[in-house]
Amino acid sequence: MPRASRVSRLTGLLASVLLLTATAVACGTTDSDDVSGSSAAAKEGSSASADAFPVTIAHKFGSTTIKSEPKRIVTVGLTDQDAVLALGKVPVGTTEWLGGYKGAIGPWAQDKLGSAAAPTVLKDTGTGPQVEKIAALRPDLILAVYGGLTKAQYESLSKFAPVVAQPKEYNDYGVPWQQQTEEIGQALGKADEAKTLVSGVEAKFAAAKKADPAFAKATAVMATPYQGVFVYGSQDPRSRLLSDLGFALPKDLDKVIGDQFGAQISKERYDLLDQDVAVWIAPDTTTSVTKLHSDPVYGDLNVVKQGREVYIKETSDYGNAVSLSTVLSIPYVLDRLVPQLAAAVDGKTSTKVAQPAS
């Protein structure tokens, strides 16, 4: 899957209805290439609270009880590895989404890996998790919090390890980073540590809002030029970056996209883009801009004419961190996004929204 088609990637995952087979019986087998690196990684994690288990976590398909501290964790959720790392554990397996990072661990999380071996990277091309490869890693916990498991996939994975699936109160791939972190903290026996991590990142949002009160008076939208124009809904982590900074999202946004994380919009609904700020996750920050501005409908919007756009290169570390929106990637994002947003809403059309230095 090309890295530039992450929207297609998630759309494919959400649309997947293919059932996993019962080949999970292979969980008793070993794979020397997978397990050898994973064993070292598992030893790096810090211990949980002695009285943290058993713990039961509710999710879309019921609830899962984890009886003892997990040692071999596989993340099926596409961003769950960051919360695991932030809590002092190293997964034995992760699931690739963005590509380009060893172990599916971005630069914002590398220091949490330390000297441990990188996790084995699994793939999901839209047909569901790789059951046999997951089983070969001999997990004692499977995390699919930021995910879109079907019930059949959940039941197949549950045959050989406890599975924490996506929460039922949100769209698939719609869990807030705060809840994601805290649920994973509970699963690892580190609930208090997870709350502390969440509070630390929330303090960064609060500081940004205090430094620029204009954010709370402005509207914003997050979009990408995928097969026309694709806008992200209020439950998508990318849009939550904006709302957590105080911006209001377009009032009709969720009405237009329905119960998905986002959707293509027609030119008749380009009014959703005409906000105080339009943030674009684009293939690049040059030709993509030219192409968007050449559209007579979009190019005529005030957000364009008044220079209130923010562009983020999709496949850059910055763009990847925006898409992940985790407890580890968000501080990395805020250092870059906040100055761009401040320039966009300063009320001066002459202010250029500059690209981050790195």
The answer to whether 245 and 205 have CB atoms below 8 angstroms apart is yes
280 strand-pairing partners: 223, 311
Please state the φ and ψ torsions of residue 246, each to the nearest 5 degrees. 105, -10
Tens of pLDDT, residues 250-273: 999 999 999 888 999 999 999 999
Distance between CA 166 and CA 142 in Å, rounded?
Answer: 12
pTM recorded for the entire structure: 0.86
Question: Which ranges of the chain have pLDDT less than 70?
Answer: 1-46
pLDDT of residue 46: 64
pLDDT of residue 124: 86
pLDDT of residue 38: 40
Structure-token pair, residue 269: 């609904």
- Classify 17 in phi/psi space as left (phi over 0), alpha (psi -120 to 50) or beta: alpha
The answer to whether 78 and 104 have CB atoms below 8 angstroms apart is no
Tens of pLDDT, residues 286-332: 999 999 999 999 999 999 999 999 999 999 999 999 999 999 999 99
